[in-house]
């Protein structure tokens, strides 16, 4: 989780211009935040090789939501 919260989330939040805490919010928020969150999930999966279930556990989402974000 250190790489996730220490590297990916801040970089994506800065790129999308959204606060980092919005990425872990329980609700969808705005379309921009939702897309940024999907990018975080995709990067965690492709860069670090994390499983969808592991990413879901960190993000507070289920593995199907993560799989959708990665698509």
What per-residue confidence (pLDDT) applies to 1? 57
23 burial level (CB within 10 Å; 0-12, 13-18, 19+): buried
Distance CA 34, CA 28 (A): 6
CA dist 55 to 16, 17, 26, 39, Å? 20, 22, 15, 12
Per-residue pLDDT of the chain (71 residues; tens, 9 = 90+): 566 677 889 999 999 999 999 988 888 789 999 999 999 999 999 988 999 999 998 888 889 989 998 88
For the whole model, what pTM was predicted? 0.84
The residue written with tokens 């897309």 in the block is 35
What per-residue confidence (pLDDT) applies to 3? 66
């Amino acid at each position: 989780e250190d790489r996730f919260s220490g590297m990916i989330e801040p970089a994506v939040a800065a790129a999308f211009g959204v606060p980092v805490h919005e990425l872990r919010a329980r609700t969808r928020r705005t379309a921009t935040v939702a897309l940024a969150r999907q990018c975080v999930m995709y990067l965690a999966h492709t860069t670090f090789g994390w499983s969808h279930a592991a990413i879901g556990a960190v993000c507070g989402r289920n593995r199907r939501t993560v799989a959708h974000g990665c698509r």
